[in-house]
Amino acid sequence: MLRLNEAKKILEKYNQMHILKYYDELSEEEKANLLTQIESADFSVLESLDSSEEFGGKRGSFEPLGAVTADEIEKNHDAFSEVGLDAIRQGKAAAVLLAGGQGTRLGFDKPKGMYNMGVEHEVYIFQCLINNLLDVVRQAGAWIPLYIMTSEKNYGETAEFFREKNNFGYNGEYIKFFVQDMAVSTDCDGKVLMESKCSISMSPNGNGGWFSSIVRAGLLDEIKNKGVEWLNVFAVDNVLQRMADPAFLGAVILSGCQSGGKVVSKAAPDEKVGVLCLEDGKPSIVEYYEMTEEMRTRCEPDGTLSYNYGVILNYLFNVNKLEEIADNRMPIHVVKKKIPYMDETGEMIKPDEPNGYKFETLVLDMIHMQDSCLSYEVDRRREFAPVKNLSGVDSVDTARILLAENGVEL
């Protein structure tokens, strides 16, 4: 553990001495707790506040990237599926559920996956996802390893919920939980927020840390020993998400690409969705706010938008490539959020408005580290029902309509 003078050196460097304001009045145990936190926290993320890395740093030059369209997929569906199912039966695919987020927009005080989408029945978000994965298990006649990433904050509740619900019928031997790293959060002046006199406010460090957290949890060896070649990474909050989709897997394998991303055709040129494209000749995702008007409205000769394919956080990555890029530094995104904190008088405040910054790495930045990525178009009404808010756009309300349309009894 750090000694006090070592901790002071770190904090002076980053101009964060206020963290020790109450140090002298703490018990020995509390002192140790605080010093351990200072030792493990990555303060270097604070540098991104000065280097205007807010949008992931300076971007290169963008070009459109076409997709295997839904029509083409329909025509080749059986051939794609056959290759994918074969890979699944040989144990070459695993699924990685990203469930470490805090779901602040939904305003639900439990892990998002525990939200009940049902009206008359219990239909939890986790249940929707597991049911979709079970479809593939039945089709393949083989279990698919499922790795679930939680944060330190929601690990206990998530794991307990799966236990209580008997894994929603999934084979528990194929489910493994792992915990992602945490990062400090600050107020709007870049001062690290405190959660109490002896603890720094920490938040999950974004979904981009999933692979390094897998490695740190010691799961990579297991993955490789099992012969897994492809990891399908997906978000918890798309209740129509189809994981380890045999046709998607087969299409990526047959294409020879290093990675794949499920995409949907944009509903309108100004839809707020990141688009899979090329940046300096390599696959990349351009965020809606980074697109110029010209990019947003540009069309191909057949009339479709040139930047047409929005990502839905469902990617396939090759394990060999992931290992190769494991040590690459990922861009840090600074996001403004509501962060509970202890004020100068020692009182806990739960803000109603965003009051500070969190520092996150994002899985989408891994796409730019790949040499190639197959853009794979799916039907949004069948595979894209994000639950970000309680009502309005991308909400419980809109997702319920889509679930019902897809035959889920609510």
Binding positions for ligand UTP, rule: CB under 6 A: 98-105, 112, 149, 180, 204-207, 235-237, 360, 388
DSSP states along 69-104: -HHHHHHHHHHHHHHHHHHHHTT-EEEEEE-----T
In the complex, least distance from residue 122 CB atom to ligand UTP, rounded to whole angstroms: 21
Show the DSSP H helices in 241-332 as ranges. 246-255, 293-297, 319-325
Q: How far is the CB of 106 from ligand UTP (least distance, A)?
A: 6
Residue 205 CB, shortest distance to ligand UTP, in Å, is 6
CA distance 362 to 48: 15
* Chain Cα centroid distance, residue 206: 7
Residue nearest to ligand UTP (CB): 101
Smallest distance, Å, CB 335 to ligand UTP?
A: 8
Closer of 127 and 207 to ligand UTP (Cβ): 207
Nearer to ligand UTP, 209 or 283 (CB): 209
Say if residues 343 and 256 touch (Cβ distance below 8 Å). no
Backbone angles phi, psi at 34, to 5 degrees: -65, -45
For ligand UTP, which is the closer residue by CB, 69 or 389? 389
C-alpha–C-alpha distance, residues 216 and 147, integer Å: 14
Contacting residues for 367 by C-beta, under 8 A, at least 6 apart: 259, 261, 276, 283, 284, 285, 315, 373
CB nearer to ligand UTP: pick between 105 and 197: 105
Which lies closer to ligand UTP via its Cβ, residue 99 or residue 239? 99
Distance in Å, CB of 344 to ligand UTP, minimum = 26
Q: Is 56 left (phi over 0), alpha (psi -120 to 50) or beta?
A: left
* Cβ-based nearer residue to ligand UTP, 106 or 137: 106
Q: Could you tell me the smallest distance in angstroms from the CB atom of residue 386 to ligand UTP?
A: 8
